[in-house]
Structure 1
Amino acid sequence: MKLLINTESLLPPITGIGTYTLNLLKQFDANYNFEAIECFSGHRFTTASKAIGQSEHAYPSCTPRKTADRINKILRGSILAYRAREALRNSLLRLKSSQYKDFVYHEPNFILKQHKGPAVATIHDLSFVSFPQYHPAKRVAWLSSKLPQSLARADMLITDSEQVRRELIELYEVNENKVRTIHLGAASCYVPQNAIQTAETLTRYGLKHGQYLLFVGTLEPRKGVDTLLESWANLPPHLKNAFPLVLAGAPGWGNKNLQDRIDTLRNKDELKHLSFVPAADLPALYAGATVFVYPSHYEGFGLPVLEAMSCGIPIICTADTSMSEVTGEHALHIQAGNAEQLTEQICHILENDAVRISLSTAGLIRAQDFSWGKCARETAAIYKTIGS
């Protein structure tokens, strides 16, 4: 079997789709005997091992970020830019179409490019349908116009959670036999660590092991950071002083008011904003937290929740979402946007050692149900089905 996979998402800074693509590639390159794996990055083709190496080399670099941010801002602001970019990338793939027609093409990022052979697309979430206000209007228009074509052209579709699978079937009337849920995994580096093991990383960030609340994710309205800030502000002073709030994440779309609020609180030393944190620092940052709080309104999976849970950290996340699908009963849940309920849950965890220990232990057991090895195995089975 031969695989053609789009690796545009491996360009820095790597976000959720890039993490998904990178970990699949690592599994395939190390553990599977594909006849060939060709990676298409939008402007060139390369091998899996080279794509992995280039990605990991570029990941910690902050230099490309400013350029990437400028490009992303332009793309978000113009649907013509979206179309021009896709036309260029499709034309390159078209030139190679005869060479790759016997390859199974996997598009990890929603929209299939032109390919004459069998194809599978991963649909990570449908938040642009359920919560269009949390996305740039041009992006909503682009996905709304292009996604139906991809759904029709794909031989199979993958979703990260059963919730997104149900939404895809209900909203787009996709044949349920054409859609498979394949849960994501957490990398093997996400494990519990003690204060000695986290010391070097936490010292650089001015943090103390077991003495902070943590949020990791893009700082934008969909992530519920405003709810988190409101709930944290209402905590009793002794808890706020003992457990400062730490936000680790780059600014996202539509977050000017949110960023202004964060800057004000940071200037008063009432929270720490670490901005974009290199991947190598995340395991220790998770493992050193007292509790991980993720009040996002919508997630296709909620990878930071699984990563934190794998580090043995108690979780508070949003009920009736894919995150509650991942955590099961082994986390505390709140209704979306309910800051008062979130304040109560944070107090409950911080003031009860037994609750923290119970959630930590149960979460570690639950996290064992998810792995990138399992994700790759189930994905490769789909390739085999449509390739034959």
Structure 2
Amino acid sequence: MRIALNARILQAPRTGIGHYVAELVGALAREPDVELSLFHGWGWSSALPKAAMPGYSRLTPLLRQIPGAYQARRWLEQKRFDKGHTQPIDLYHEPSLWPLSFDGPTVITLHDLTHLHYPETQPAARLREIERRLADGVQRAKLILVDSQFIADEAQLHFGLPAERFVVAPLGVASRFHPRAPESIDTVLKAHGVDAGEYFLCVGTLEPRKNLTLALRAHARLPHAIRQRYPLLIVGMAGWQREQFSEELHQALASGHVCLLGYLPDEHVAQLLAGARALIFPSLYEGFGLPVLEAMACGTPVVLARRSAMPEVAGAAGNYIEPDDPDGLRDAMRRLIDDQAHWQACSDAGLQQARMFSWERCAQVTARAYRQAMGG
């Protein structure tokens, strides 16, 4: 099968969907009947880009201010998509929101419906494009891949489509996420002023949907001595409308017990996850929640809200809290400090839960969806 896969998102610094594309492409390469051609927005390649496009983070905010920029870029991409590939394509896979036009069978991946629940997390121009194109793309797709059963159920209801149009392909965990001895991660941890097992970690784009204010409030309610010994580190890029909670964040940063690390290399994130006392993930809405799986694969306990798809990922290994209860989160954090037996049980349960997920399995389900969409 000759598959065209839109990999344009890899021009940007990699967050959830970017990691999905990169890992899926690598795993699909081991499927014997799958031959991938990757479209990068301006051309075609058989290889993944090694890094984000230079200047991407500075270019994107400028595009938001130019009227019609999204439509113009879309028009150019469609032209290059139509003319750039050198061999016939059997199927087109769009892994991120709305697909380009294609005469043959199309498969799309619908990761979530964030734009419906939290439209404020999208720039206005981009939100209009999503609303204009996504419904049409979903209707045109032969099959719709989703990361979780939660999203399958939600999308069936919203778009009015039968269950057989959806294929649940749970995400996997990259090999860099595994338990590590403290001495093997000491250099990275020391660069951020922490020791193994003596900090809490949040991973995610800084935007209101991630509910990071709950983590800030809960951490601030710990005794001063504990906050000093167990700081809260936040890893992630600034998101759309970060200013909605910037005052509280600035106050937390000024305390000296919260550190905003920004966007870090993948290997550094993996090492920080492996060394954390726990991952704090109070997000209000996720189509999957990849950092939860990655933390568990490192043997790191996870504290998370029992919302959306996250219970499918964490299962019985999760320490669940209410997303509006800072005292409950504080108590969960305190127990993971004080009760070593509980910490160890959570670590062991997370490792066992993480073994249920792999990119190989995700690729196998995806390849079967390709065959089904092509009538096989």
Task: Name the TM tier (shorter chain).
Answer: over 0.9
Mind listing any 5+ residue stretches in structure 2 that lack a counterpart? none
Q: Encode CA deviations 1:267-301: one digit per residue, 9 max, x unaligned.
A: 44221111111012122110100011000111111
Contact map agreement 2:12 2:57 (CA 8 A) in 1: no
Amino acid across the alignment from 2:77: R
TM-score after normalising by structure 2: 0.95
How far off is 1:139 after superposition? 2.6
TM-score, L = length of structure 1: 0.92
CA distance in 1, matches of 2:267, 2:103: 39
- Give the Å deviation of 1:68: 1.8
- CA–CA distance in structure 2, aligned partners of residues 130 and 281 of structure 1: 32
| Alignment correspondent of 1:41 | 40
In structure 2, do the counterparts of structure 1 residues 222 and 76 end up closer, same or farther at CA, with 3 Å as the change threshold?
farther
How far has the Cα of 1:76 moved from its partner? 4.0
Residue of structure 2 aligned with 1:363, choices 343, 350, 368: 350
Aligned to 1:12: 12
Distance 1:5 1:79, change over 3 A: farther
Which whole-Å CA distance do the structure 2 matches of 1:268 and 1:231 have between them? 14
Residue-by-residue CA offset, 1:214-265 (whole Å, 9 max, x unaligned):
0011111111111111111111222212211101111111112434433443
Partner residue, 1:81: 69
What residue number does 2:31 align with? Answer: 32
Give the CA deviation at 1:144: 1.4
Q: Deviations over 1:127-182 (max 9, x none)?
A: 11122233333332221111110011101001111111111001111121001111
Cα distance in 2, alignment partners of residues 265 and 15 from structure 1: 24
- 2:307 pairs, out of 302, 320, 326, with 320
- Which residue is equivalent to 2:57? 69
Deviation above 6 Å: which 4+ runs of structure 1? Answer: none
Stretches of structure 1 that go unaligned for 5 or more consecutive residues are none
- Counterpart CA distance in 2 for 1:36 and 1:263 is 49
User: In structure 1, the residue corresponding to 2:27 is in which secondary structure?
Assistant: helix
Note if contact 2:200-2:278 (Cα within 8 Å) is conserved in structure 1: yes
Contact persistence 2:43–2:81 (CA under 8 A): no
| Residue in structure 2 matching 1:258, options 245, 259, 267 | 245
- The answer (yes or no) to whether the contact 2:44–2:84 under 8 Å persists in 1 is no
Retained in 2: the 8 A contact 1:78–1:138? Answer: no
CA distance in 2, matches of 1:241, 1:205: 14
Cα distance in 1 between the residues matched to 2:218 and 2:291? 20
- In structure 2, the CA distance between the partners of 1:35 and 1:182, relative to structure 1 (3 Å rule), is closer
Q: Deviations over 1:80-111 (max 9, x none)?
A: 211111111012223358x6654211100011
Q: CA RMSD in A?
A: 1.8
How do residues 196-207 of structure 1 correspond to structure 2 at under 5 angstroms? Answer: 196-207=183-194
Say yes or no: does 1:287 pair with 2:286.
no
Q: Which aligned pairs between 1:1-388 and structure 2 lie closer than 5 A?
A: 1-29=1-29, 31-34=30-33, 36-47=35-46, 50-51=47-48, 54-55=49-50, 58=51, 64=54, 67-77=55-65, 80-96=68-84, 102-388=89-375
Identity across aligned pairs (percent)? Answer: 30
For these two proteins, the number of residue pairs brought into alignment is 375
Three-state SS of the structure 2 residue aligned to 1:177 is: helix
- Answer whether contact 2:235 2:263 (CA < 8 A) is retained: yes
- DSSP-derived class of the 2:76 partner: helix
Pair 35,213 (structure 1): closer, same or farther in 2 beyond 3 Å: closer
Report the CA distance shift for 1:133/1:338 in structure 2 as closer, same or farther (over 3 A): farther
CA distance in 2 between counterparts of 1:329 and 1:75 reads 44
Q: CA deviation at 1:69?
A: 2.4
Query: Is residue 299–residue 350 contact of structure 2 (8 Å, CA) maintained in 1?
Result: yes
1:342 Cα shift? 1.4
In the alignment, is the contact (CA less than 8 A) between 1:184 and 1:370 conserved in 2?
yes
CA-CA distance at 1:35 after TM superposition? 6.1
Per-residue deviation, 1:321:
1.9
For the 8 Å contact 1:5–1:39, the answer to whether it is kept is yes
